[in-house]
Amino acid sequence: MTTITAVIVTHNRVDKLRHAVNAAMHESFDKIIVVDNASNDGTANYLAQISDDRLQVITLPTNTGGAGGFHHGVTATANADWLVLFDDDAHPTPGSIDLFRALTENLETNIGAIAARVDLPDGTPCEMNKPLINPFWGMSKRAWAALRHGRKGFTVDNAQEIDAATFVGFFLNGQVARSMGPPEADLFLYSDDILYSLSMRRAGWHIRYEPDIRFYHDCETLRSGGAYRPLWKNYYTIRNGTFVAKMAAGYLAPVAMIYLLMIWTRRGMSLNGVERRQYFQIFRKAIIDGIRGKRGPISSGCRNSANQ
């Protein structure tokens, strides 16, 4: 029988984690792994009270971010047939794991991952979790649409082949985890999933989007104008975005960077006063660090100055 393991990464969001774990326990997971990123909000006490034999907790001594959490979670569970990765503010809709389990019975052997449809709690598609088509790997109509419209141009209702997806409702083939290893830990936040997906595609694995398999994501990171909140999170999406541009576009990376710089600049210009100044301070540091290939977390001083 196909073994399916949930991998949930959490840090100081015990109220959201309760909902995620409760939803997971009502699904047909064989194991539920929670990676606790050094939480100090009562997460450990909550998890210790759960009497479900499927639950296993991995407690990390320091906060390694989502990237570090998924790195450790995938490392610990790579012997499963399939791993289902999601954050503590996300959860599968009822019956989704049974749908996936049935899907695996006739799945091609070259499928390395299945990406679920991800909606906000109100049922509308979550823009930041829409899958990606890499426009630099082909000249199809889909590729041109991706170049022109980005995630907004992705049609969420149609099952299709994709090039990358986020670690929210990301069903990872255990063979991929064993052959490629876990996602990169040193990115801390954001783009670890996109870079891992692109690496899978380069290695010959296929990724499929299946809209009948659904997750909800109660995400508070984005507000109007597109700037990430708190503002320090923009450092990671910009810095790590430079790594994505290099991998996705190759020798056309400068073209990809111009496109991304326009997006990131527009986000900053949507802010006012002190916030705009803080954003562009982060913006400059992130671009420099990205060009230099710097990994790891942002300095505490920079984070505290932009803790909005």
CATH, residue 174: 3.90.550.60
Whether 186 shows a pLDDT value over 90: the answer reads yes
- Picking from 224, 303, 211, 308, the residue whose alpha carbon sits closest to that of residue 266 is 224
Q: Is the separation of the CB atoms in 183 and 77 below 8 Å?
A: no
* Arithmetic mean of pLDDT, 151-170: 89
* 79 shares its domain with 176: yes
- Is the domain of 201 the same as that of 249? no
Q: Which residue type does 277 have?
A: R
| Tokens describing residue 187 | 């990115």
Does residue 191 come out as left (phi exceeding 0), alpha (psi in the -120 to 50 range) or beta? left
- One domain, residues 78 and 211: yes
Mean residue pLDDT across the chain? 93
Count of domains for the chain: 2
> Does residue 292 belong to any structural domain of this protein?
yes
Q: Position 248: which residue type?
A: A
Taking residue 75's Cβ as centre, other Cβ atoms within 10 Å add up to 14
Burial (Cβ within 10 Å: 0-12, 13-18, ≥19) of residue 107: middle
The CA distance from 5 to 24, in Å, is: 10
Residue 138 reports pLDDT greater than 80: no
pTM of the model: 0.94
Q: Does residue 135 sit in the same domain as residue 16? A: yes
Can you tell me the distance from the alpha carbon of 268 to that of 161, in angstroms, rounded to the nearest whole number? 33
Q: 258 and 210 share a domain?
A: no
What is the structure's pLDDT at 227?
87
Residue 99 belongs to domain spanning: 4-217
291 with 185, same domain: the answer is no
Same domain? 156 vs 210: yes
173-177, 196-200, 224-228: segment of lowest average pLDDT: 224-228
Q: How many percent of the chain have pLDDT more than 70?
A: 91
Would you say residue 222 lies in a domain? no
Q: Model confidence over 10-45: pLDDT tens digits?
A: 999 999 999 999 999 999 999 999 999 999 999 999
